[in-house]
A and B are shown apart, each in its own frame.
Chain A
């Protein structure tokens, strides 16, 4: 089985930086995704990491350490519209690789 852990809720101030952590335990790891989901909407893709290191894409960056089973999503220059749930998802397995989601971190950006 797979265990994926992330904080349930976080609050941050507009214009600030926030880091959302995700830890996982799995076998046959083959990639980690971050998705954003606004209330009542579909999840949308943010990032994909399969090798160790930092991937930067505009205001969002994602980091992966395979040896530690750890990832984080970094959001810079927070905007009110960034208030959403952020879902960490791991692809892993044997013959075919299922994508399993964590419970998500609900981020509230305050003025």
Chain B
């Protein structure tokens, strides 16, 4: 009964390159959230997706960042032309629904992006 799986766990990119972060939600979960966390700071909401739909991307920068959750396969957070300020831990969380006690978020171990 695997939890939320994120890969890669660590990613190093040079400025201007692209970063792709993948997230496979828990089995049976159709809701995926992406959060960004800078060192010593809280989790900042980026985007919320259901299968094949972006529900809320209000926390995601308009440029260079995109997210998808296809019918088949993991959710992907894509950062184009990375800059040093993109260095952070990116956490994915999934839930089976969005209400009640069972709407709790289950987090993956995170992907730590370092931009040189």
Contacts and interface: CB of A to CB of B under 8 A. Distances in A.
A96 B42 contact: no
Contacts of B33: 99
A99 B105 contact: yes
B42 A98 contact: no
A101 B107 contact: no
B77 to A, nearest CB: 16
Most buried by B among A89, A98, A106: A98
Contacts of B55: 96
B25 interface: no
Interface residues of B, number: 24
A97 B98 CA distance: 7
A28 B48 CA distance: 18
The 3 closest A-B pairs by CB, nearest first: A103-B42, A42-B107, A101-B43
Interface of B: 33, 35, 40-45, 48, 55-56, 91, 98-101, 103-110
Interface of A: 30-31, 33, 35, 41-45, 48, 50, 87, 89, 91, 96-104, 106
15 contacts: A30-B99, A33-B104, A41-B109, A42-B110, A44-B107, A87-B42, A87-B43, A91-B98, A96-B48, A96-B56, A100-B45, A101-B43, A102-B42, A104-B41, A106-B40
